[in-house]
Amino acid sequence: MPAPARLYAKAIQLMPLIAFTNARLLDPASQHDETGTLVAEGGKITAFGAGVAAPEGAQIVDCAGLCLAPGLVDMRVAVGEPGEEQRETILSASRSAAAGGITAFAMLPNTTPVIDGIAGLEFVARRAREAKLVKIFAYGAVTQGAAGRDLAEMGLLAEAGAIGFTDGTNAIGDALTMRRALSYARAFGKVIVQHPEEPSLAAGGQMNEGEISTRLGLSGISRAAEIIMLERDLRLVELTGGRYHAAHLSTAEGVELIRDAKSAGLPVTCDVAPPYFALSEIDIGDYRTFAKLSPPLRTDDDRRALIAGIADGTIDAIASDHAPQDQDAKRVPFAAAAPGVVGLETLLPIALELYHKGAIGLLDLLARMTFAPAKILGLPLGQLKVDAAADLVIFDLDRPWVINADAFRSKSKNSPFDKRPVAGAVVMTVVDGRIVHQS
Amino acid sequence: MNAPSAPNDEASLPDGLVWNRRHMLGIEGWSAAEITAVLDLSDRYVEQNRRADKRSTELRGRTIMNLFFEDSTRTRTSFELAGKRLGADVLNMSVGSSSVKKGESLLDTAMTLNAMRPDFLVVRHAQSGAPKLLADKVNCSVLNAGDGTHEHPTQALLDALSIRRRKGRLEGLTVAICGDILHSRVARSNIHLLGTMGAHVRVVGPPTLIPSSIDRMGVEVFTDLDEGLKDADIVMMLRLQSERMNGKFVPSPREYFRFHGLTSERLKVAKPDALIMHPGPMNRGVEIDSEVADDIGRSLILDQVEFGVAVRMACLRLLASTQKQSN
């Protein structure tokens, strides 16, 4: 089986010798947490630990006790390029990711045109090379045009570097198509990522179905839309043995289903995005379109169940689910507004709320945003390890600040977290030993 | 020129009425005192509207723009008359043929109109929350004339006025709201208003047309019309809104009428003096039998239309008083 091809180019010049001293070195994979020095040369980690000294001639970055962890790996990012560059380009997404401490992300294929062929992957690779900031991987579409009918050329896409397969923001609604996708992807060792929402139950829906949707006069999406799709898919996983990943869970029952599937030994993983554990349907208030998501924000009980799922490891990964939308798509009546939230620059601080609240330990929390998603995608990233890529984030765990959407590097500002006070700020982002962001 | 009771002093509202709202976007959250203020003032305008000279000058010099993104002859005409009877200038924007068709966004349209300095925007829109979106951006008063399946506040107020003028009260009455609750903004506004005023509200309809968790809004839910009508003082029929339906919620109009159509036979379980209401336009033979709709002794349907003008005059007048304060 070919190793997953990386769709970025390393900087051509020789990677400098650099040493990060006086850092709180955090490696979730090995549960390593001690103050010391990390040395990188040629883009790779050459040594790290308490007893390590900065070598002669190295560029010294004194971390003054700040946290140094593997750079975040974000497994769910929508970019507007090609086709909707006014929302986000690969360059603006790269800058936004770097500012958020994300050193690698996986891009959804829902572009215009859809990435369902080699040309699309090559385009992304070229643009990522030009941006030269963070590592960008791309999913291939499961079906042609992500329309849910005929399988895309998954084998050729895998060969060309597709990191996995998904129809992205579209659910694979047809059971037979899903069965075949799960079976077929096995041959290439790739994961199928599903947007778990039964399309006919969700059709026309604007928010979670319940008292609030009734009061606001917005058509609801039943929680059953997610539950039914997960139940169906898990049966198909059982049938095919294919590797399955449920994206952005929103319901308590969804967490429960994945928990049971895992204990039954099925090859299943899942992720959640910060809005789902930091907000609930109440945050829609008086028709706030920035709180319109797909799947919709659910109840406070769901929110708590998702946090419990993150803490006990049922939820493998936290992904930003970055979905840039321009003003025209959000400054409209709620029913006409596009769903989604920009998330690259708020992933870390919102996730850190869980640590600050005592819901989860720091290393476990970082695991959900580093080596866990990397492992799902088969990437050798997200760890502090000698010979591993020197992809790092340095952050101040406690620094209080107020999120300001206007200051985002992303082209879009659609954040429900604007003006939210948070604790924990990215200070520096390093990719292959090269500083790509500094604040 | 005006009857002694008609309020005509721009500076203050009569009888110590207190009003603080700048917009009327929905009944949800209103106090009983606010509802009563509108109804009391409306009673005066009912008298004014029954005179030969129906015109007063309270809103002289003010401009009202009717901005109807959904067609409605009845409500638009009612607002137009209300404004004119108070002496305001009223413009009807026919949105269907304007720049909206050319792709201009709702907010751009509103901001353009706002720049012409109207005092009121009366907005009807097919999408819930559209008036709220406008109210956040413009500096005139926004009056919701019906938004999607959210609210239709003036309809609930005119319904309450119609009931109060016949029954003398709202408190303690049993009101059965029947039919397509799911797609009805009228039902939602009435549930808020009648509940706040102490009426017992029931919603009656086929389960597919009852919205999720509506019991949490303080109503009793019935799926059997006979049970829902039992001992009701007021029977409020709603139109089956086929145009808002995404797929079939009921198999056919024939079947709907069989189980949820109001006939004089069905009405026998209600109180003998029960009154019938309908916000219009009616689908005769679908949700209501003509015999019931046209029963002069029991039907409030024409009262509703008449009092609609008075209620809208009261709403405009009250909002004008806060504009005065804020200027």
Cα A207 versus chain centre, distance: 22
In this prediction, residue B110 has a pLDDT band, given cuts at 50, 70 and 90, of: confident
Residue B43's Cβ-side half-sphere holds a number of Cα atoms within 13 Å equal to: 14
Interface A–B counts its CB contacts (< 8 A) at: 74
Quote the minimal CA–CA distance from B112 to chain A in Å: 16
Residues in B lying within 8 Å of A, measured between beta carbons: 28, 105-107, 125, 127-130, 132-133, 147-151, 185, 188, 211-214, 216-217, 246
Handedness of CA B119, B38, A218, B94 (dihedral sign): negative
Chain A: residues touching B (Cβ < 8 Å): 203-204, 209-211, 213-220, 222, 286-287, 328, 331-336
| Cross-strand pairs, A138 | A107
* Residue of chain B nearest A206, judged by CA positions: B128
Name the residue of chain A whose CA is nearest to B135's CA. A286
Instruction: Give the mutation candidate from B23, B25, B149, B190 for the A interface (greatest A CB count, under 10 A).
Output: B149
Task: Name the pLDDT band for B4 (thresholds 50, 70, 90).
Answer: very low
Comparing C-alpha atoms, which of B133, B135, B131 is closest to residue B145? B131
Amino acid sitting at position A403 = I
- For A204, nearest residue in chain B (alpha carbons): B246
Q: In chain B, what residues touch A215 (CB-CB under 8 Å)? A: 28, 188, 217
Q: Which of A208, A216, A330 to mutate to test the interface with B (most CBs of B within 10 A)?
A: A216
Residue B153 vs residues A290, A390, B284: alpha-carbon distances, Å: 26, 62, 25
Q: What six digits make up the tokens of B117?
A: 């300095």
* pLDDT score, position A138: 97
Q: Model confidence over A334-382: pLDDT tens digits?
A: 999 999 999 999 999 999 999 999 999 999 999 999 999 999 999 999 9
Closest alpha carbon to A185 in A198, A201, A196, A172:
A172
- Looking at chain B, which residue has its C-alpha nearest residue A203? B246
Chain B: closest CA distance from residue A213 (Å): 8
Per mean pLDDT, which range of B83-97, B243-257, B304-318 is the poorest? B243-257
Of A203, A209, A336, the CB nearest to B127: A336
Chain A closest-CA separation from residue B48 CA (Å): 35
From chain A, the residues in CB contact with B181 under 8 A are none
Task: Using the predicted structure, report yes or no on whether residue B97 has a pLDDT greater than 60.
Answer: no
CA-nearest of A172, A170, A104, A113 to A138 is A104
Separate counts of helices (H) and strands (E) for chain A: 14, 18
Q: Which residues of A touch B28 (CB under 8 A)?
A: 215
Q: Dihedrals φ, ψ of A425, to 5°?
A: -135, 140
DSSP string of B246-309?
Answer: SS-SSS-HHHHHHHH-B-TTGGGGS-TT-EEE--S---BTTTB-HHHHT-TTTB-HHHHHHHHH
Tell me the pLDDT band of A8, cut-offs 50, 70 and 90.
very low
As given in the structure block, the two tokens for residue A297 are 């924000």
Task: For residue B124, list chain A residues with Cβ-Cβ distance below 8 A.
Answer: none
Q: What span, in angstroms and rounded, lies between the C-alpha atoms of A155 and A165?
A: 11
Q: Which residues of A touch B128 (CB under 8 A)?
A: 216-218, 287, 333-335
- Average pLDDT, stretch A88-109? 98
Residue contact A216–B129, C-beta within 8 A = yes
Contact call for A211 and B151, based on CB within 8 A = no
The pLDDT tens digits of the residues spanning A394-415 come to 999 999 999 999 999 999 999 9
Q: What is the DSSP letter of A210?
A: S
In which order are the strands placed within the sheet that holds B234-237?
B220-222, B200-204, B174-178, B234-237, B275-277
The alpha carbon of residue A34 and the mean position of all alpha carbons in its chain are separated, in whole angstroms, by 27
- Cβ-based neighbours of B245, under 8 Å, separated by 6 or more: B183
| pLDDT tens column, B208-249 | 999 999 999 999 999 999 999 999 999 999 998 877 666 689
Tokens 């570097």 — which residue? A161
**What is the residue-averaged pLDDT of chain B?**
91
What pLDDT, in 10s, does the model give residues B156-215? 999 999 999 999 999 999 999 999 999 999 999 999 999 999 999 999 999 999 999 999
The β-bridge partners of B92 are B66
| Chain A residues touching residue B147 (CB < 8 angstroms) | 217
Where in the sequence numbering do the catalytic residues of A fall?
Answer: 321
Which helix (H) or strand (E) segment holds residue A327: the answer is helix A327-330
Instruction: Give the C-alpha separation, B198 to B218, whole Å.
Output: 11
Do the Cβ atoms of A69 and A392 come closer than 8 Å?
A: yes
Average pLDDT for A38-60: 95
DSSP sequence for B207-226:
GGGSPTTGGGGT-EEESSHH
Residue A129's pLDDT is: 93
- Whole-angstrom Cα distance, residue A390 to residue A367? 17
A181-217 residue pLDDT tens:
999 999 999 999 999 999 999 999 999 999 999 999 9
User: How many secondary structure helices (H) and strands (E) does chain B include?
Assistant: 10, 9
Q: Which residues of B130-169 are buried (b: 16+ CB within 10 A; e: fewer)?
A: bbbbbbeebebbbbbbbbbbbbbbbbbbbbbbbbbeebee
Assign B72 a pLDDT band (cuts: 50, 70, 90).
confident
**Interchain proximity A218–B128, CB inside 8 Å:** yes
Contacts of A210 in chain B (CB under 8 A): 212-213
CA–CA distances in Å: residue A11 to residues A61, A96, A436: 20, 19, 11
Q: Which segment of A97-106, A371-380, B9-18 scores lowest on mean pLDDT?
A: B9-18
% of chain B beyond a pLDDT of 70? 91
Nearest to A320 by CA among A80, A22, A62, A76: A76
**A267: which residues sit within 8 A by CB, 6+ positions away?**
A237, A241, A242, A243, A244
CA distance B264 to A62: 87
Q: Which helix (H) or strand (E) holds B108?
A: helix B106-114
Is the Cβ pair A332, B105 closer than 8 Å?
yes
The candidate with the shortest Cα–Cα distance to A103, out of A396, A424, A426, A342, is: A426
**Predicted local distance difference test score (pLDDT) of residue B325:** 52
Domains of chain A by start residue, with CATH? 4-68+389-438 (2.30.40.10), 72-377 (3.20.20.140)
**Residue A334: which of B128, B185, B246 has the nearest Cβ?**
B128
pLDDT tens, B258-269? 999 999 999 999
Encoded amino acid at B110, one letter: A
- Residue pLDDT, tens place only, A253-311: 999 999 999 999 999 999 999 999 999 999 999 999 999 999 999 999 999 999 999 99
The more confidently predicted of residues B284 and A143 is A143
Cβ atoms within 10 A of the Cβ of B250, count?
A: 20
Q: Which residue of B has its CA nearest to A336?
A: B127
| Residue B64 main-chain phi, psi, to 5 deg | -115, 130
CA-closest candidate to residue B323, choices B20, B82, B85: B20
Nearest CA to B308 out of B183, B195, B173, B161 is that of B161
Please tell me the distance in Å from A225's CA to the nearest CA on chain B.
15
For residues A73 and A317, give the distance between their C-alpha atoms in angstroms, rounded to a whole number.
9
Overall average pLDDT of the A382-400 stretch: 98
For the CA atoms of A368, A371, A377, A381, the dihedral, rounded to the nearest 10 degrees, stands at 140
Instruction: Say what percent of chain A tops pLDDT 70.
Output: 97
Instruction: With cut-offs at 50, 70 and 90, classify the pLDDT of residue B71.
Output: confident
> Average pLDDT in the A71-92 region?
97
Nearest to A427 by CA among A403, A402, A392: A392
Residue among A214, A331, A333 minimizing CB distance to B214: A214
The type of residue at A371 is F
Q: Do β-strands A67-70 and A18-27 pair in parallel, antiparallel, or remain unpaired?
A: parallel
What pLDDT is recorded for position A63?
97
Q: What is the pLDDT of residues B288-325, one digit of tens each?
A: 999 999 998 899 999 999 999 999 999 999 999 988 65
Which candidate in B100, B109, B127, B249 is best for mutational testing of the A interface (most A CBs within 10 A)?
B127
**pLDDT class of B2 with cuts at 50, 70, 90:** very low
> What mean pLDDT is predicted for residues A412-439?
97
Angle subtended at Cα B64 by Cα B58 and Cα B66, rounded to the nearest 5 degrees: 140
Cβ of B128 and A335 within 8 Å? yes
Average pLDDT, chain A: 95
